[in-house]
Structure formats: structure tokens, C-alpha cells
A = this chain, B = another copy of it.
Amino acid sequence: MATSHKEESQANRGRPRSAEADRAIMEATMRMLMEQGFSDLSIEGVAAAAGVGKTTIYRRFPGKVDLVIAAMSKFMMLDSVPDTGSFRGDLLAFHAHPTHGFSLRLLSGGGSTLLGTLLAEKERNPELIQTFRKLVIDRRREQFRQVVAKAEQRGEIVTGVDPDYVASVMFGSLIARTIGGFDISDEVIEQTVDAMLAGLLKR
């Protein structure tokens, strides 16, 4: 199991691990990760915030990285593929996507810095960003492919489109704006989507 480094050789002996503690630890970890970033997240702080002894955390996770990865694994599940009936609607749905409050928009811009935190740790703890990629980005990519495929089947867009390239342009231009210091309003998103569509829709 990813959430525990306990030996499983023994039978179910002794008091079982507290599900309540599990939950409190995961929630506190995720909250502090969002609020303070990875570097400033301390296991001691998580323990205090979760109302839990340090032992209880160390019994479950060997270290900070594992704790954070477990928390991300727990909370970063993305929900189902957008399916609004039109390509444009699906694209807009992607950006709104409030899955557990961790849409890409929140991640790279606005009030949060989780993506930045993970990138900053890339060298020392590459597992972090890799996990994030596996859980969020790769999944998104796959969903985006499905959305494009459906649009093709409906005959909305030209054939032969590379969905990954389209995704990188659409999300990337928003990320670039964020880095450039601009807020990402709903209008900007609509403009970006429409510019994208301009090159893809069948005439």
C-alpha cells in the first residue's frame, strides 16, 4: 500500500490504525501544503494541526515526501471527462473544473502556488512533481484527447489535430500570462478558447 510502510507479514494483531487519524493527517497535510508550500511544511506542524502525535505520522510515512505524495494521491483525483455536447463547452469546462478545488487555474495562478512549490523541489525531490504529473497532468491529457476525439467524431473540427499540442498551447498561454503577472479572468479564458477554436473548427 502506498499509504503505509508497515510490515504486513503479521496477522491483524493489536489495535488497528485510526481511520480518523488517517483522515486528519491527510487533510492537515494538504491544507498546509497549499498554504505554506512544501519547504515550509513541517511534520511537527502537521501533527499539531491534525491533533495527532508525531509518532502517529512517522508510523505511517517514512518522511515528509512520502506524506505529501500520499496526500496528493488522496485529494488530486480528477472527476469525469467534460461532456457538454460541444467542443467549446468542453474546453471551457476544463478550465472551470473545480475538482476538489484543485483545477489547473488554481494551481498555477490565482491564490495558490502548489505547482510552483513542486517545481521548486524538482531537483531534490523529483517524486513530488512526478506524482503530480501522474495524478493530474497525465490524466488531464488523456481527458483532453477524449474531448478532441469526440469533437472530431461530431465533425466539429478538422481532422488530424494533435490534441497534446493543442492542450499545451491552450493551457500554456494561460500559464505564461500568469507568470507574466496577469490575472486569468473568465473573459481571458473565453478569448483563449475562441482563438484556439478559430484554427480548428470546420468552416
Interface residues of A (CB under 8 A from B): 35-40, 108, 111, 113, 115-124, 129-130, 133, 137, 141, 165, 167-169, 171-177, 179-181, 195, 199
Contacts and interface: CB of A to CB of B under 8 A. Distances in A.
A54 to B, nearest CB: 11
B124 A119 contact: no
A32 to B, nearest CB: 11
Given A38-B120, A169-B169, 5 more contacts: A129-B179, A137-B179, A167-B176, A171-B172, A199-B199
Contacts of A122: 113, 116
A111 B130 CA distance: 15
Contact of A180 (B124, B137, B179): B137
Which has the most chain B C-beta neighbours within 10 Å: A108, A115, A121, A173?
Answer: A173
Contacts of A39: 37-40, 120
A190 to B, nearest CB: 14
Contacts of A177: 168, 172
Q: Specify how many copies of this chain sit in the oligomer.
A: 4
B116 A119 contact: yes
A37 B123 contact: yes
B119 A120 contact: yes
Contacts of A119: 108, 113, 115-117, 119-120, 179
A42 to B, nearest CB: 11
12 contacts: A108-B119, A113-B121, A116-B118, A116-B121, A119-B179, A130-B181, A137-B180, A168-B173, A168-B174, A172-B174, A175-B176, A199-B199
A148 B149 CA distance: 35
